[in-house]
């Protein structure tokens, strides 16, 4: 939890430095965060853990909304179309950078239409298979 608290403080500082320069009273209204995956996933739980203390630190409500579908494209497209005023944020996974390689057509430019703010964390992924399946570990 300590690392997540530090991440929340870092996000608050980055928001304060970048957006407050453009808007003296930021945030003056609720901030909406779209997570383009279902509730309960790691991509959902980690940002929610970060945004709760961030909301208290900013003194403003942060509304977290899950908009799953099409491998994250539905929610991501909604953020890409939103006003670039700092009130609609995207909390995504590494799939954000992979989507353009997987899907022939997506309604946004994954690199040009977004500006990264902070990484919340890294989660290793492991694939396991029962030994009875007869698969072998590939040489590395």
CATH number where 8 lies: 3.40.190.150
Is 139 within a domain?
Answer: no
User: Is residue 74 domain-resident?
Assistant: yes
Question: Which residues constitute the domain of residue 59?
Answer: 2-133
Q: Rounded to whole angstroms, how far apart are CA atoms 25 and 19?
A: 10
The verdict on residue 140 lying in a domain is no
Number of domains composing the chain:
1
Question: What DSSP designation does 115 have?
Answer: -
pLDDT in tens, 11-66: 554 555 554 455 578 999 999 999 999 999 888 998 999 999 999 999 999 999 99
Q: What is the 3-state secondary structure (H, E, C) of 12-76?
A: HHHHHHHCCCCCCCCCCCCEEEEECCCCCCHHHHHHHHHHHHHHHHHCCCEEEEECCCHHHHHHH
Cβ pair 50, 120 in contact under 8 A: yes
Is the pTM above the cut of 0.85?
no
């Amino acid at each position: 939890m300590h690392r997540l608290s530090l991440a929340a403080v870092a996000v608050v500082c980055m928001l304060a430095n970048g957006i407050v320069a453009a808007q003296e009273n930021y945030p003056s209204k609720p901030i909406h965060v779209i997570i383009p995956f279902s509730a309960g996933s790691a991509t959902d739980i980690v940002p929610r853990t970060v945004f709760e203390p961030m909301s208290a630190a900013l003194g403003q409500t942060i509304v977290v909304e899950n908009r799953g579908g099409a491998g994250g494209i539905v929610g991501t497209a909604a953020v890409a179309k939103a006003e670039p005023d700092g009130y609609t944020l995207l909390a995504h996974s590494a799939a954000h950078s992979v989507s353009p390689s997987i899907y022939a057509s997506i309604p946004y430019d994954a690199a040009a239409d977004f500006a990264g703010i902070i990484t919340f964390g890294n989660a290793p992924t492991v694939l396991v298979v029962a030994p009875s399946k007869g698969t072998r570990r590939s040489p590395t």
